[in-house]
């Protein structure tokens, strides 16, 4: 299991929690795991999110590995000018 930190605006869709545990070995599994546990998050994840894994921001890739002790933060999708 890996702890996933949500931005606080998402608490409304995750039973009031801003940190949840999912079973995941990569970023893609983190996202599918989140939706499986909290279907309310689906619209957010479908709209696009980025994930910070151990301080590195994964803008879009689903294959980046995640370890059980990784620090994982869900972030709003990154883009640029």
Partner 1 sequence: MAFDDVKTDNFKVVGQRVKRPDGIDKVTGKAKFGADVVAPGMLFAAIIRSPHAHARIVKIDTTKAAALKGVKGFVTRADFATGLKGGNLDILENVMAGEKALYDGHAVAAVAATSALIARDAAKLVEVEYEILPHVTDVDKAMLADAPVIREGAADKSVPEGMHPNVVRYHESGHGDVEAGFAAADLVVEDSFLTEATHQGYIEPHACLAQLGKDNKGELWCCTQGHWNVQKLCAEMLGMETSQLRVTASEIGGGFGGKTAVFIEPVALALARKTNRPVKLVMSRSEVFRATGPTSSTSMDVKIGMTKDGIITAGEGTFRLQGGAFPGAPMEFTAMCAFAPYNLENVKQVGYDVLANRPKQAAYRAPGSPMAAFAVESVIDELCKKLDLDPIEVRLKNASKQGTKASFGPTWDRIGLVETLEAAQTHPHYSAPLKEGQGRGVSCGFWFNHGGETSVTLALSEDGTAQLSVGTPDIGGSRASMAQMAAEELGIPYDSVRATVADTATLGYNEVSHGSRVTYASGLATIKAARAAVKILCARAAAKWGIDEDAVVWEDGCAKPSGPNAGDFDPLPIEKLTRSMGRTGGPIVGHFEATPEGAGVSFATHIVDAEVDKETGQTKIVRYTVVQDAGKAINPTYVEGQFQGGAAQGIGWALNEEYIYGEDGRLQNAVFLDYRIPVASDLPMIDTVIVEVPNPGHPYGVRGVGETSICPPLAAIANAVSSAAGVRLKQLPMSPPRILAALDKQANG
Q: 54's torsion region: left (phi>0), alpha (psi -120 to 50) or beta? A: left
Binding mask 1-40 for partner 1 (x = CB under 8 A): ----x-xxx---x--------------------------x
Question: Following CA atoms 4, 58, 68, 6 in sequence, which dihedral angle do they give, to the nearest 10 degrees?
Answer: 0
Site for partner 1 in 49-78 (CB under 8 A): 52, 54-61, 64, 71, 73, 75-76, 78
Q: Element (H or E) spanning 7, and its range?
A: none
Interface residues with partner 1 (CB under 8 A)? 5, 7-9, 13, 40, 43-44, 47, 52, 54-61, 64, 71, 73, 75-76, 78-81
């Amino acid at each position: 299991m890996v702890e996933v930190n949500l931005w606080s605006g998402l608490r409304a869709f995750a039973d009031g929690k801003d940190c949840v545990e999912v079973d995941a070995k990569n970023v893609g599994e983190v996202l599918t795991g989140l939706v499986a546990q909290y279907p309310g998050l689906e619209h957010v994840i479908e709209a696009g999110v980025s994930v910070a894994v151990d301080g590195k921001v994964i803008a879009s890739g689903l294959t980046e590995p995640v370890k059980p002790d990784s620090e994982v933060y869900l972030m709003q999708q990154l883009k640029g000018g």
